[in-house]
Structure 1
Amino acid sequence: MMIKFSAVLLGALVCHSMAFAQPNVKKETVPNGWHLMDQASTGYYGISLDKAYEFLKAKNIKSKTITVAVIDGGIDTTQEDLKAILWKNPKEIPGNGIDDDKNGYVDDVYGWNFLGGKDGRNVKEDSFEGARVYYALKSKYEGKDGTGLTGDEKAEFEMYQRARKAVTGDVNEQEIYMMKQMLPRFITGDSIVQKDLGKAEYNGNDLKNYSPKKMEAIFVKSMMIGISKANDSYDITNTQLISEMNGELRKGEAATTPPQEFRKEIVKDDENDIKDRFYGNNDVMTGTPFHGTHCAGIIGAIRNNNKGVDGVADNVRIMMVRAVPDGDEHDKDVANAIRYAVDNGARIISMSFGKDFSPQKKWVDEAFRYADSKGVLLVKAAGNDNKNVDVEPSYPNPVYADGKGRATNVINVGASGDPKNGGLAAKFSNYGKNEVDIFAPGVGIYSTIPGVSNYGNANGTSMACPVVAGVAALLLEYFPTLTPQQLKQAIEKSAQVPQDKVSQPGTKDMVEFSELARTGGIINAYEAVKYASTLVKAPVKKTVLPKPTFKKAKAA
């Protein structure tokens, strides 16, 4: 959920046709780690993290280690700023092929991969959920108008109608045509660039001083630099781009062809049975670890070690639960990932993913309820389509499908920026004065990426979500009795409301921030810890009575 390909393609086409003409408006740069800074003292609209730690230090409170689960696409367990803070299952003996703790998952040392097969293979790419819904329901509802349907069938028919429109009515044929032309050229040139640079994965930064001689490699450099400029990030890699393009082509093909069942061929569980839970494998580093590695670093990269970056929380363990492929995640995997995290001790779950359809939402809803019953807070990304999620559905969301209210242990996060890097409201962020709770820094966020000592920038509500998860973990470290609802209260009630109007994402309209989120504000760690401290009752000292001095009377 980090890059939307339409933006990538447009940027590439524009830059290719205009010989990389620079925009007329010069954009200022922000320092690495700006998202942690204090606006009053530095001028950057970060979360005032140092002030939060100063407040906690003055209180002389000791922290408690908190486990934060990251449900994502994988993590690099060798990354220098992460490996010491990765959660390790204390009851599991690594590599012995035995389920030592008898939790149903063999050798789950760092977490679990619900996209793996018992034979060691792993799902990397997957289809668009809208296409899966459309073809699953097509034979049942094609040609019908929904007359007489009630209850679950009515809701199912409405979902089918939305899926049909998404799959067959919103295809940009010109865009698909351009992608089909560009991808083979890119792949051909990519092999040349890999050989020239001596590395299989590279990004825009690697290409700045690269002088290709062959036309195919020149095309790759043009496209990569154009994409980097269009997305304000030179850390997008060649493999990410190829993955994004393939994903968009799969969406385009869905208009006429049923999606391939990527997951079924590898995982081999019964996807229609939520009780069939013990599938997958323990390979959390496979597939696409860029996204999960970046999110994990935002939450808890080791602080003050003079390496790379500082995470938000200073005493956490990161549990990786892999459930997000290159494509749309499956509801069953999301539900089981949440349950796994809860059952294995996570107190905060960070979820930087999302989609437009949720055919088995009731399973996810039950997982939300289960997490709440165990005192676990869920933090999720609002999405990167600059759409109003009050009126356009986005999943997972806290509104229960059975109509019985909504989850109160969920925080939905939009992405903020800085006036120096594009504005306080990120131009790509979803928003909603009812359904988005708070905004957090999500533009130009510097964090850990795959490789022992690699770091880079990324944009998205995917980055804003772990900022909030990190703050929640920080609060819980120092105030461990707080409930999910109290954590949510402390984070939201302390949000900082911008004084000036901001650009509504996707438009040039200037609006109050209260039009974009329930709190009308941006997270602030300092204000949040101050607020959290007021929610904790001081321990009541027991009055110790003196021991009695009288002697028991003898019986007469």
Structure 2
Amino acid sequence: MNKVINRSLLFSLIAGLIFSSGFAQTSIKENAPKGWHLLNKQTSGYYGISLDKAYDFLKGKKSTPVIVAVIDSGVDTTHEDLKSILWHNPGEIPGNGIDDDKNGYVDDVYGWNFIGGRDGRNVKEDSYEAARVYHEYKGKFEDVTDPSTLSKEDKDKYEMWVKAKQQVVGEVDLSLLEKYKQIAKDMIVEDLIIQGDLKKKEYNCKDLNGYNPTAVAAQKIKQTMTYICGLNKNDDITNEQIIEDLQGEIRKMESAQKAPEDYRGEIVKDNYNDFSDRFYGNNDVMANTPFHGTHVSGIIAAARNNGVGIDGIADNVKIMMVRAVPDGDEHDKDIALAIRYAVDNGAKVINMSFGKGFSPQKDWVDDAVRYAQSKGVLLVHAAGNDAADIDTAWNFPTPVFKSDGKRASNWITVGASGDPKLGGLVAGFSNYGKKEVEVFAPGVKIYSTIPGGDTYGDAQGTSMASPVVAGVAALILEYYPSLTPEQVKFAIEKSALKPDMKVKNPGTDDDVDLNELSKTGGILNAYEAVKLASTLKGERKQENIKTKSTVKPTKRG
């Protein structure tokens, strides 16, 4: 799942709508230069990653192209700052309806969409994994009184079901459900008024500046949007994002009473429980939900020095989009196959800005992670946005293998940093973990590409911090291609800058050292990372990691 609005702040919005007649106006006081995350602390005063200094260090050195796979919601393939950096499958002839490279995926020009149907439809919204787990095993475990009598396999499932039940049923106040539904219904009606006035289907808080509606309903939604943008410190949040997230919370509440709809199954039509049935989906990587993936892709590799928009981090990267993340929780099978697709088609870095609290088919994902590890591919994962300690809370996928408890060596988990001028050096929403989070990277008010062809805006979350690390990892591999994923990971983590100050523990007012929130106790620094990488002797085996799948397509009528 990837969200633009922090869940705790969405609840603040809903509570305000239910229990008060309105909001106090909340302005965004903290301004930051666009691209602050790339700046040098010594020259700008912001805790950026010192990217220009890194490029100064690399000047005159040879760069080789690197493919970075982005497993996400989709990408705007028409964007002016992304068109030139999108991966094009060299073995595929676009639009001929033939699987030219015989990899099982027809016309996979920019990548693949694992949550699309062969009829051209695409999964937009989906249910939450906790609800899926709860209802799948409810009939089997609801009447269990003595779990010690269960087999080991069933005990594991039972423990997962109990936790899912607590989340689905125990944390939901059903007395508010009808009020939530009415709020969503009212917002949709009010939203139509503003759409008509502004002559725009989708608009953000910036668009509302100077807009003075006369209709009371339009005044109300303007006030609502201003409030939520202020709480999130992000005036690029749109009307559609707010309504979609509210509807998602309603779906989550409804799952306490009834099994969620099978959004994916109705469109994708694979045999979900058969992992060999893997050649499903379609080639529409843009689909209808590309905001998140477009923003992430721009952070990594938006065309540099082209005179438009923004500069991404890495200057010789091709972005491969693998669409597997809906508005809701992703499915383990899609993630496992997305990782394998990226590896088989030459990605050296995979960015994963998503996460969820349950992983019933974790073995499938673990096997894919092992496969990536065996092929020398680095995985970069967002820590999550619940202000939670993921040493004890679940945020899947994880680098710890279920079967033996061993840890993947090719994995970096990233928390979100900010700046004291932007509310704190550690983002208040970021997950953390002394054991499970390796490093922090900028993830507050990150300016990047958004859908629209020539549109840009802010977003924040560990979803934005992860591609900052992925971009630096790709930059290292451009100039030092003989390094292994483990060596790149070492360079990034060992060189992280350790600030000489206390930080706020997310979700609390406690002042702590940053090394209490992550393994390194540091913040990513591109200059220090490439400098350290330059001293390492490459250990990567010289092999072509682009391989063909050995699993034959499952025939389906």
- For Structure 1 versus Structure 2, the TM-score category normalised by the shorter chain is over 0.9
TM-score (norm 1): 0.94
Post-superposition shift, 1:18? 5.5
TM-score (norm 2): 0.94
Tell me, yes or no, if the aligned pair for 2:310 and 2:448 is still in contact at 8 Å. Answer: yes
User: Equivalent residue for 1:8?
Assistant: 10
Q: Distance in 2 between matches of 1:450 and 1:522?
A: 29
Matches within 5 A, 1:66-81: 66-81=66-81
- Please give the secondary structure, in 2, of the residue aligned with 1:439: strand
Tell me, yes or no, if the aligned pair for 2:23 and 2:227 is still in contact at 8 Å. Answer: no
Residue 51 (structure 2) aligned to one of 42, 46, 49? 49
Tell me, yes or no, if the aligned pair for 1:11 and 1:229 is still in contact at 8 Å. Answer: no
Tell me, yes or no, if the aligned pair for 1:12 and 1:230 is still in contact at 8 Å. Answer: no
Post-superposition shift, 1:224? 1.0
Post-superposition shift, 1:21? 3.7
- Please give the secondary structure, in 1, of the residue aligned with 2:234: coil
Tell me, yes or no, if the aligned pair for 2:22 and 2:223 is still in contact at 8 Å. Answer: no
Tell me, yes or no, if the aligned pair for 1:415 and 1:439 is still in contact at 8 Å. Answer: yes
User: Equivalent residue for 1:436?
Assistant: 437
Q: Larger deviation: 159-168 or 302-311?
A: 302-311
User: Equivalent residue for 1:554?
Assistant: none
Tell me, yes or no, if the aligned pair for 2:300 and 2:471 is still in contact at 8 Å. Answer: yes
Larger radius of gyration: 1
User: Equivalent residue for 2:224?
Assistant: 223
- Please give the secondary structure, in 2, of the residue aligned with 1:415: strand
2:507 matched to 1:503? no
Per-residue CA deviation, residues 356-389 of structure 1 (Å, 9 max, x unaligned), is 0000000000000000111100000000000000
Q: Structure 1 residues 497 and 271, CA, compared in 2 at 3 Å: closer, same or farther?
A: same
Per-residue CA deviation, residues 158-193 of structure 1 (Å, 9 max, x unaligned), is 101101111110114465454223111110011121
Q: Distance in 2 between matches of 1:62 and 1:28?
A: 39
User: Equivalent residue for 1:549?
Assistant: none
Q: Structure 1 residues 38 and 269, CA, compared in 2 at 3 Å: closer, same or farther?
A: same
User: Equivalent residue for 1:351?
Assistant: 352
Matches within 5 A, 1:54-453: 54-57=56-59, 60-144=60-144, 145-173=146-174, 176-453=177-454
Q: Structure 1 residues 30 and 178, CA, compared in 2 at 3 Å: closer, same or farther?
A: farther
Which amino acid in 2 is paired with 1:45? Answer: Y
Q: Larger deviation: 191-200 or 259-268?
A: 191-200
User: Equivalent residue for 1:34?
Assistant: 36
Tell me, yes or no, if the aligned pair for 1:494 and 1:527 is still in contact at 8 Å. Answer: yes
Which amino acid in 2 is paired with 1:413? Answer: V
Q: Distance in 2 between matches of 1:175 and 1:519?
A: 43
Post-superposition shift, 1:213? 1.8
Tell me, yes or no, if the aligned pair for 1:12 and 1:224 is still in contact at 8 Å. Answer: no
Which amino acid in 1 is paired with 2:49? Answer: I
What is the alpha-carbon root mean square deviation over aligned residues?
A: 1.5
Q: Distance in 1 between matches of 2:168 and 2:337?
A: 28
Post-superposition shift, 1:206? 0.7
Q: Distance in 1 between matches of 2:135 and 2:394?
A: 20
Q: Distance in 1 between matches of 2:440 and 2:330?
A: 24
Q: Distance in 2 between matches of 1:285 and 1:517?
A: 35
Tell me, yes or no, if the aligned pair for 1:12 and 1:226 is still in contact at 8 Å. Answer: no
Tell me, yes or no, if the aligned pair for 1:331 and 1:361 is still in contact at 8 Å. Answer: yes
Unaligned runs of 5+ in 2: 540-557
Q: Distance in 1 between matches of 2:180 and 2:231?
A: 17
Tell me, yes or no, if the aligned pair for 2:26 and 2:231 is still in contact at 8 Å. Answer: no
Q: Distance in 1 between matches of 2:523 and 2:404?
A: 30
Q: Larger deviation: 139-148 or 219-228?
A: 139-148
Which amino acid in 2 is paired with 1:74? Answer: G
Q: Structure 1 residues 206 and 21, CA, compared in 2 at 3 Å: closer, same or farther?
A: closer
Q: Distance in 2 between matches of 1:364 and 1:251?
A: 24
Q: Distance in 2 between matches of 1:109 and 1:237?
A: 30
Per-residue CA deviation, residues 378-403 of structure 1 (Å, 9 max, x unaligned), is 00000000000001111000010112
- Please give the secondary structure, in 1, of the residue aligned with 2:322: strand
Tell me, yes or no, if the aligned pair for 1:8 and 1:231 is still in contact at 8 Å. Answer: no
Per-residue CA deviation, residues 259-305 of structure 1 (Å, 9 max, x unaligned), is 10001100000010111110000001112100000000000001112
2:488 matched to 1:487? yes
Q: Distance in 1 between matches of 2:486 and 2:314?
A: 19
Tell me, yes or no, if the aligned pair for 1:9 and 1:227 is still in contact at 8 Å. Answer: no
Q: Structure 1 residues 7 and 173, CA, compared in 2 at 3 Å: closer, same or farther?
A: farther
